[in-house]
Chains A and B, each alone.
Chain A
């Protein structure tokens, strides 16, 4: 569905350096990235602000022309065949709406139906379906200007799906949303991918999105692809320690055991870090055998830890 081959994008930025002098500097936004996404996948594109996520999305959707490299989406060259591609993909920008401020949501969707030449009866049934899944009923006739951020995002999602695209591309769809709206959006996307087989590529810097939605994650940092694979493998690749939380019967000196070390204590509770190379079961057995243990719990490294570490060390793929 998506092929990205050695693609870079840089922007020429003019800066005023003197009263009249200006210098041009080349700012690299995306630096020689390559990946492919097959039909039906649900891929998360993760990275901190300014990493190059939006720039990548804009190249995939034909808004920007790559400085070098080759992009194909659904077999088309996005920047040259932008219009043909537009019929087959849906795009959502989290930071700005694609709806018209002054029109009620319903009218915006009607306009979009005309833009994509969806016939009236198809539109009616599709709108009914989207209204139910996204819970739009309460505000279909409200001008977009008056919608809350969460309502607007649901409206934008509906707008991107009026023409039933094969590929849905979302740039930070959950940014700024409250917990309930986030859950609605995530639930909807999961169903869309599972039931209709829509390929989804979603950028985010919200790790919760990735953990709940995506089987595959790509991490971009400073314009370079730092990781591409499953979430579990990411955890394994970046050698983040697992954490063993031990509740002793009473406060004691830090536990001493082979293969793990205490990283924190709080009264009778102690936290032990276990490196990936060490078998956790052996450590648990050793601790339980030698100490008076009330409770014991093993925590996989949180994705935050993993990502922070990835950004710091830059594990190659």
Chain B
């Protein structure tokens, strides 16, 4: 089932890529633009560090590490499922009906729509920052810390992907809900670039228990960077990302099914 979906994803994305390859020049432009826009966030962080040596108690390499892990997770989720936010448009224009009469999940069809290499535009700068931050970290690299880095990136991808689908299903209820969807996905991508402690304890609580973005990179990073948890949460939380991701995925799947079942198409 999963293997078949992955295979179908690759086939569809590949077909879109071949179609997109007919315009290589515009492709390069789009990748460069996207990369430049993404780098602006980084510039904002660097400017802060011109004025202060630490941000929320974290050094520049540590903040770069947080920025890089969150950025890579976000970019990969965006590559995989970013177009899910178009659900509302498909509902409004009635094109969801066409997706529904084909033997492949509409989510998979929407996710691969317009797939093109330009989607890697965000991944390049964020990946570079992550790689650059690693040797600069003042960390005693034990095996568990080393293992936790790829795991936290993978967990982050999973959490962002689930959130993306979950927030897209909102558009089943509110067709013009793209703004709300984006505030969760892009807003989440933005917040997790920073040490969450700078937003205060209440925000941190909300980001742990309500919209669990703390599990994208913050919780596991506390372990990698050997920092105490400002909320005093147990050690278990450092490793809880997959669990959180699984719960979010379950919610997303439920919401998606409910949305489709209650979908009423458009008149005529």
Binding site for B on A (CB under 8 A): 11, 49-50, 54, 58, 61-65, 82-84, 86-87, 89, 91, 93, 95-98, 100, 102-104, 107, 110-112, 114-116
Contact across chains for B265 and A61 when beta carbons are under 8 A apart: no
Q: Which of A82, A96, A111, A116 contacts B100 (CB 8 A)?
A: A82
Given contacts A50-B268, A58-B265, A116-B102, 20 further A-B contacts (CB under 8 A): A63-B100, A64-B263, A64-B264, A84-B103, A86-B103, A87-B103, A91-B98, A91-B101, A93-B94, A93-B98, A96-B94, A96-B95, A96-B97, A98-B98, A107-B15, A110-B15, A111-B12, A114-B8, A114-B11, A115-B102
Give complex CA distance A167, B117 in Å.
38
Interface residues on chain B, number (Cβ under 8 Å): 26
Contacts of A104 in B (CB 8 A): 19
Chain A's closest residue to B4 (CB) is A117
What's the least CB distance linking B169 to chain A, in Å?
Answer: 17
Q: Which of B110-158 contact A (CB under 8 A)?
A: 113-114
CB of B51 closer than 8 Å to a CB of A: no
Contacts of B98 in A (CB 8 A): 91, 93, 96-98
Contact across chains for A115 and B19 when beta carbons are under 8 A apart: no
What's the least CB distance linking B116 to chain A, in Å?
Answer: 11
- Could you list 6 examples of A-B contacts with CB < 8 Å? A50-B268, A64-B264, A95-B94, A96-B93, A96-B98, A97-B98
Contacts of A98 in B (CB 8 A): 95, 98, 101
How many interface contacts (CB-CB < 8 Å) are there between A and B? 70
Chain A's closest residue to B261 (CB) is A65
What's the least CB distance linking A225 to chain B, in Å?
Answer: 19
Contacts of B102 in A (CB 8 A): 86, 112, 115-116
CB of B28 closer than 8 Å to a CB of A: no
Q: A98-B98, A111-B15, A115-B103 are in contact. Are A64 and B265 (CB under 8 A)?
A: yes
Contact across chains for B103 and A116 when beta carbons are under 8 A apart: yes
CB of B104 closer than 8 Å to a CB of A: yes
What's the least CB distance linking A97 to chain B, in Å?
Answer: 8
Contacts of A97 in B (CB 8 A): 98
Chain A's closest residue to B14 (CB) is A114
Q: A64-B264, A96-B94 are in contact. Are A83 and B103 (CB under 8 A)?
A: yes
Residue in A49, A62, A65, A104 whose Cβ sees the most chain B Cβ within 10 Å: A65
Give complex CA distance A100, B16 in Å.
11
Give complex CA distance A116, B109 in Å.
12
Contacts of A86 in B (CB 8 A): 101-103
Contact across chains for A63 and B268 when beta carbons are under 8 A apart: no
Contact across chains for B15 and A61 when beta carbons are under 8 A apart: no
Contacts of A63 in B (CB 8 A): 97, 100-101, 263, 265
A-B pairs, top 3 by smallest CB distance, nearest first, are: A98-B98, A86-B103, A91-B101
Contact across chains for B97 and A93 when beta carbons are under 8 A apart: yes
Q: Which of B15, B94, B100, B104 contacts A62 (CB 8 A)?
A: B100
Chain A's closest residue to B19 (CB) is A107
Residue in B11, B102, B264 whose Cβ sees the most chain A Cβ within 10 Å: B102
Chain A's closest residue to B113 (CB) is A100
Contact across chains for B265 and A49 when beta carbons are under 8 A apart: no
Contacts of B264 in A (CB 8 A): 11, 64
Give complex CA distance A107, B15 in Å.
8
Chain B's closest residue to A116 (CB) is B103
What's the least CB distance linking B97 to chain A, in Å?
Answer: 5
Give complex CA distance A104, B114 in Å.
13
Contacts of B12 in A (CB 8 A): 111, 114-115
What's the least CB distance linking B180 to chain A, in Å?
Answer: 19
Residue-by-residue, is B228-259 near A (CB-CB < 8 Å gives 1, otherwise 0)?
00000000000000000000000000000000
Contacts of A11 in B (CB 8 A): 264
Residue-by-residue, is B30-46 near A (CB-CB < 8 Å gives 1, otherwise 0)?
00000000000000000
Contact across chains for B100 and A102 when beta carbons are under 8 A apart: no
Contacts of A84 in B (CB 8 A): 103
Contacts of A114 in B (CB 8 A): 8, 11-12, 15
Residue in B16, B19, B265 whose Cβ sees the most chain A Cβ within 10 Å: B19
Contact across chains for B268 and A54 when beta carbons are under 8 A apart: yes
Contact across chains for A115 and B104 when beta carbons are under 8 A apart: yes
